[in-house]
Structure 1
Amino acid sequence: PEFAYIGDRERVRALTERAERLRETVLEKGALIDRDAVWELKREALELLCDVPLGPGRHAAYCDYLAEQGQALEDHATWCALAEVHGPDWHRWPAGLHGPRSTETARARGELMDRVDFFSRLAWLTDTQLTAAQRTAREAGMPVGIVHDLAVGVHPGGADAWAQQQYFAAGMSVGAPPDAFNARGQDWGLPPWRPDRLAAAGYAPFRGLLRGLFRYAGALRIDHVMGLFRLWWVPRGLPPTEGTYVRYDAEAMLAVLVLEASRAGALVIGEDLGTVEPGVRETLRDRGVLGTSVLWFERDWDGDGRPLPPERWRADCLATATTHDLPPTAARLTGEHVELRDRLGLLTRPLDVERAEAAADTGEWLALLTRLGLLQGTGGGLGTSEEEAEVQAVHRFLLRTPARMIGVWLPDGVGDRRPQNLPGTWDEYPNWRLPVADAEGRPVTLEGLAGSARLHALVEVLRGNAGRC
């Protein structure tokens, strides 16, 4: 609402022009998303907005939010203000600022109070927008609405690690042991919770985190849900293969999770992919936490190893063709994901061996889809390419499973071949900077997505079972 009262309209026009240039750089020149430039632009625009006094009603709502969020919000906003002055990693700040309760931090907070208020107001604006988005989704008839995501950890130099550092293990990083997807293991660079400190605090930090997410969520997806049971800790400076598992009190953490989800009336989906110890999936199921089943991983591992028929899939899960950490379906079907991993030096076996294995895997799934009569619409005259027909068949297969929910990876709707995130890479691959693109690699705008014939055709496949999607 404050936008209408900005006095410096010339600066507004200049910011708008900068935004258009950033957009054109991606759409017309194929550049990566420059998130730093986007943030700089948005920060300047938000500063203009925050120069406008709030009306009485808005001011009262903001004050209520400040009172409700209390110390946690003040710590977050203080870190943001200090990061502008000293850089984004608090470990490199002057020693007196290494904690939120020091005398030096209190003094700096007072000197930077305008910026602390600015970042507090941004948190409030985010809160109001997320609340409105969930309300709008529900009013539009969506039974779940927004599904929020709980990451496996926080940035080691960020606000959470600074404000709650007593709950995180210094000198350690969360990762994963070697597995079939990554033989070298993984180091995600995120500090793990200390189980002893969590228990001593009655799991208050975990509870607060969940309440913040459930505030707007119809459902919550928990990344690497096995972390509620145990996490692979990697000592700083050592390879992931030198890590070890550290256990958590899963009964206590699950109790907090289920209680907060129940209070919010929200579903919980656990990403239980990768190395999962026996009993974890059963424990989650018994507490009403859905799992995640990805088509390419669902095989009869206790039998002949062939693709698992749809009727044998578990019901208590979110069933998908892929995830943000895996190749899009088009890349899987064409084998392009193997070529990419080879170019980045991530393969541990010869390229020909990896190619042949990937082709055999895909071939078995396509053979099953054909036997089930799910491959439809090929032949050119219907306007559906062979690749599109195969992507649609994959989703018809998912609809035949008893899974309670079906998920669609948006890039699959337009034929994007590039994974959004490639585990095991740091700066070798542009993780999270790729705009959604079509089969030819052209970035797709929001308007383009809404008008995509290929996406609409996939939605039509799902429409008959929309209640599970």
Structure 2
Amino acid sequence: MPETTAALPEPLLALAARHGVVPDFWDFGGGHRFVSTETLVSVLAALGVDASSPERVDLALAEAEDEPWRHVLPPVVVVREGATVQVPVHVEDGAPVTAHLEVDPEAGGGRRPVEQADVYVPPRTVDGRTVGRATLDLPTDLPLGWHTLVVDSDGTRAACEVVVTPGRLELPAGVGETRGWGLMAQLYSVRSHQSWGVGDLADLGEMAWLAARRCGADFVLINPLHAAEPMPPLTPSPYLPTTRRFVNPLYLRVEDVPETAYLPVAERSLIEWQAEVARPLSTDPGPIDRDTVWAAKRVALEVVYAAPRSAARQARFAAFRAEQGQGLEDFATWCALAEHFEGQPWPAEADDRGSELVARLRTELADRITFHCWLQWLADDQLAAAQRAAREGGMRLGIMHDLAVGVHPEGADSWSMRDVLAQGVSVGAPPDMYNQQGQDWSQPPWSPQGLARAGYRPYRDMLRTVLRHAGAIRIDHVIGLFRLWWIPRGRGAQEGAYVRYDHEALIGILCLEAQRAGAVVIGEDLGVFEPWVRDYLTDRGVLGTSVLWFEREDDQPMPPENYRRLALATVTTHDLPPTAGYLAGEHVDLRDQLGLLTEPVEKVRADARAERQQMLDVIAQRGLVGADPSERQVVEALHRLVLSSPAVLVGVSLADAVGERRAQNQPGTDQEYPNWRVPLADSAQRLVLVDELFDNPRLRSLVAALRH
């Protein structure tokens, strides 16, 4: 990387700024770094901007100036409620303009006139014609919602969406008045004697109800439930899904589908045979075998799918399918195509969802498409049941869902949403103290311009699905709604650049959809970020994330009393080993074994010991432990330390609660470690099932310490 911007041509810097590409950044060590010319050119190309030569850069700058004038209206307008906003309108110079707003039916509907402001802007010659600009004053009393601005001029009509978002997302009634706490669980790892080798939605409902009734918990935070591939091999990582909008049917409980109870004996036997294959896996201490589980579960579900549904059940399925619209149809079509091509390379025409081949296959595979739509209907129904169980048990929030940063580069969203996902780049993170080589998550990022052109509808639809049965939502890497680290294809994770997004629009829409759903939003704001971002999120009512080990002041642990109030405070996170393993320095040993360190292991190990000793000194000075405390006592003391913070929510890792030591995930690895495949076990590596979970002595002791 160049050390100064002197190595970067000024026109290229101007073009990058125009498109939100940032030429520099501050690294985790406080150093000011600049990206290379090659990186800027590659990232701009992914944004659809040709900067391959000085002449192309000049042309692209001119195009950027003219582009807004080529369209009557901007693609979308996102405003805060009560704000004064003016919208530019581009028409033939001197042509009359009339405008009105069609109000969101969910906000009362109706039609509102829109007045033209007395603002003169000189006309501009664009593509050989003279274009004038009128200015519209939007009403300041518009209700929250998705409205449509309609403009007429000389027989031409244009429209764009006007999204009115809350200035601030307030906590639901009863949340925030007294602190809430809950468990954090990787659902697939939390199994029962009834589940088929993977924790499922019935396990989730039971765990949530018991956590509320027996422990007084207010929420259960789970890993993303986004869908994986429809056929083995399934990607283990819940943070690399094929789609973020729809649910992984791996989490379905077959026996809870109503039609299962009415199957004839022969068909019922088919399901029992599949259960005999998968159910014993729940007591297998080895890595979780998603492929075997899904192979069995899919056969069983196909048997149930073939059974007749009552008239009311069929009508509800049809209503769900109509409500979810084209997004569900495209996802189900991709699943059917993946089955059809059976893991073989797809023909080029199949990559285009609008091609004649895909149109023909939609007809030929109609029953399989319906099957995959049906799976989503079942998942929606079982998710609703889990949230209902959580609230009936007494939780104030219930299920807290997790939204991944992105999707698999060859998945359903990448296939169906190419107009809003950037090509030729992937998302990742620059080097930091825990991942000193940087990270490449292999996911295509949102295209800022593509999202705007689509009126943010794909983003909205994704949020609505995740929020349908949620009391809260955690946004993984919420900094990605402000900027993302784009890595050009073929480059290392260190060779990326930040690309900025319209955070006012993305955060605003997030707050709007969460308010409509009655949900709390938690942003995972860890890692490298610009300091003002946390203030902005707080102002919008989005909770932050405070992790004990990451909260530092003057190279010392920050006193928890200084944590933010609007935050979810925890001792650990899923990207670290459970606290028992962390205290033992196992995260250093693991990274050393996997070759992930860029500093001498002796230095990293010494730094970890010093960090651990600092924390032990803190809890000893506060009288939270006595002399020579046991591992369990230290873990409980660390959680009591977090409870001394003003944070409105406190999360407790289920792995910590039962004494698990193994990490669920080691960032920077793929096959080198069994990421996302570690079943829940105690400190002696004995499996802990939902059936015995709340009688676990270590969990009961930790809960007692928290409640005391």
If the length of structure 2 is used for normalisation, what is the TM-score? 0.62
Corresponding residue for residue 345 of structure 1: 595
Alignment of 1:236-315 (within 5 A): 236-300=489-553, 304-315=554-565
Aligned pair partner of 2:293 in 32, 38, 41: 38
Asked if 1:55 is matched to 2:310, the reply is yes
Cα drift, residue 88 of structure 1: 5.5
Q: 1:101: Cα distance to partner?
A: 2.0
1:143-165 deviation line (CA, Å, top 9, x unaligned): 10110111000111111111111
The structure 2 residue matched to 1:86, chosen from 330, 335, 341, is 341
Q: Secondary structure at the match of 1:221?
A: strand
User: Residue 97 in 1 paired to residue 350 in 2?
Assistant: yes
Name the SS of the counterpart of 2:419 in structure 1.
Answer: helix
Whichever residue aligns with residue 13 of structure 1, its letter is E
Give the SS at the match of 1:272: coil
- Give the whole-Å Cα distance in 2 for the aligned partners of 1:454 and 1:88: 45
Contact 1:96/1:105 (CA < 8 Å) preserved in 2?
yes
Q: Which residue of 2 aligns with 1:334?
A: 584
Offset at 1:99?
Answer: 2.3
How big is the shift at 1:451? 2.1
Q: Which moved more, 1:246-255 or 1:13-22?
A: 13-22
Structure 2 distance, partners of 1:73, 1:234, is 30
After superposition, the C-alpha distances for 1:70-89 in whole angstroms (9 at most, x for unaligned) are 11111111111110121468
Q: Determine the C-alpha separation between the residues in 1 that align with 2:498 and 2:693.
A: 43
Residue 615 of structure 2 is aligned to residue 365 of structure 1: yes
> Which AA in structure 2 matches 1:85?
H
Correspondence 1:15 to 2:268 = no
Which whole-Å CA distance do the structure 2 matches of 1:117 and 1:133 have between them?
Answer: 24
Letter in 1 for 2:404: A
Contact 1:87 1:93 in 2 (8 A): no
Aligned to 2:630: 386
Letter in 1 for 2:559: P
**2:679 counterpart (435, 438, 449):** 435
1:170 and 2:429 correspond: no
- Structure 1: how far apart are the matches of 2:445 and 2:342? 23
Q: Is the 8 A contact 1:88 1:158 kept in 2?
A: no
The structure 2 residue matched to 1:418, chosen from 626, 639, 662, is 662
Partner Cα distance (1:432, 1:115) in 2: 29
Matched, 1:72 2:322: no
* Alignment gaps of 5+ in structure 1: 380-384, 465-469
Residue-by-residue CA offset, 1:183-236 (whole Å, 9 max, x unaligned): 110000110000011111221111111111111111000000000000000111
Distance in 2 (alpha carbons) for counterparts of 1:120 and 1:196: 30
Q: Is the 8 A contact 1:294 1:321 kept in 2?
A: yes
Q: Which residue of 1 aligns with 2:259?
A: 2
Aligned positions, number: 449
Map 1:146-165; keep pairs closer than 5 Å: 146-165=399-418
Query: Is the partner of 2:498 in helix, strand or coil?
Result: strand
Aligned-partner residue type, residue 4 of structure 1: A
8 Å contact from structure 2 (residues 420, 454) kept in 1? no
Counterparts of 1:401 and 1:244, CA distance in 2: 36
Q: Deviations over 1:252-305 (max 9, x none)?
A: 1111111111111110000000001121100000000000010011110xxx32
CA contact (8 A) 2:567 2:649 kept: yes
Q: Are 1:342 and 1:351, in contact at CA under 8 Å, matched by a contact in 2?
A: yes
Q: 1:407 is paired with a residue of what secondary structure?
A: strand
Task: Say which SS state the counterpart of residue 557 (structure 2) adopts.
Answer: coil
1:461 alignment partner in structure 2:
705
2:365 maps to 1:112: yes
1:180 is matched with 433
Corresponding position: 1:322 with 2:322? no
| In structure 2, distance between residues paired with 1:201 and 1:111 | 30
Q: Partner letter of residue 246 of structure 1? A: V
Q: 2:492 is aligned with what amino acid?
A: P
Contact 1:414 1:438 in 2 (8 A): yes
CA distance, structure 2, for counterparts of residue 22 and residue 266 of structure 1: 35
Q: Partner residue of 1:217?
A: 470
Q: 1: distance between equivalents of 2:391 and 2:570? A: 23
SS in 2 for 1:146: strand
Percent of aligned pairs sharing the same letter: 55
- Partner in structure 2 of residue 130 of structure 1: 383
Partners of 1:195 and 1:249 within 8 A in 2:
yes
Counterpart selection for 2:449 from 189, 193, 196: 196
Is the deviation greater in 326-335 or in 220-229? 326-335
Rounded Cα–Cα distance in structure 2 between residues aligned with 1:461 and 1:84:
51
Tell which structure's C-alpha radius of gyration is larger.
Answer: 2
- Cα distance in 1 for partners of 2:639, 2:506 equals 34
C-alpha distance in 2 between matches for 1:368 and 1:234: 40
With a CA cutoff of 8 Å and minimum separation of 6, indicate the structure with the bigger relative contact order.
Answer: 2
Q: More helix per residue: 1 or 2?
A: 1
Could you give the per-residue CA deviations for residues 383-411 of structure 1, whole angstroms, max 9, x where no partner exists?
xx700000000110011000110001110
- The 1-side partners of 2:297 and 2:469 are apart by 23
The code of the aligned residue for 1:155 comes to H
* Counterpart-to-counterpart distance in 1, 2:595 and 2:687: 26
Match of 2:184 in 1: none
One-letter amino acid of the counterpart of residue 351, structure 2: H
- Write the distance in 2 (CA, Å) between the matches of 1:110 and 1:49: 23
Moved more, 129-138 or 359-368: 129-138
| 1:167 partner SS | coil
User: 1:405 aligned to 649, 655, 658, which one?
Assistant: 649
Partner of 2:174: none
2:577–2:587 Cα contact (<8 Å) kept:
yes
CA RMSD of aligned residues (A): 1.4
Question: Displacement of 1:45 after TM fit?
Answer: 1.0
Distance 2:351 2:539 in 1: 42
In the alignment, is the contact (CA less than 8 A) between 1:148 and 1:221 conserved in 2? yes
Q: Is contact 1:88–1:157 with CA below 8 Å preserved after alignment? A: no
Which structure shows the bigger proportion of residues in strand conformation? 2
Alignment partners' CA distance in 1, 2:352 and 2:469: 30
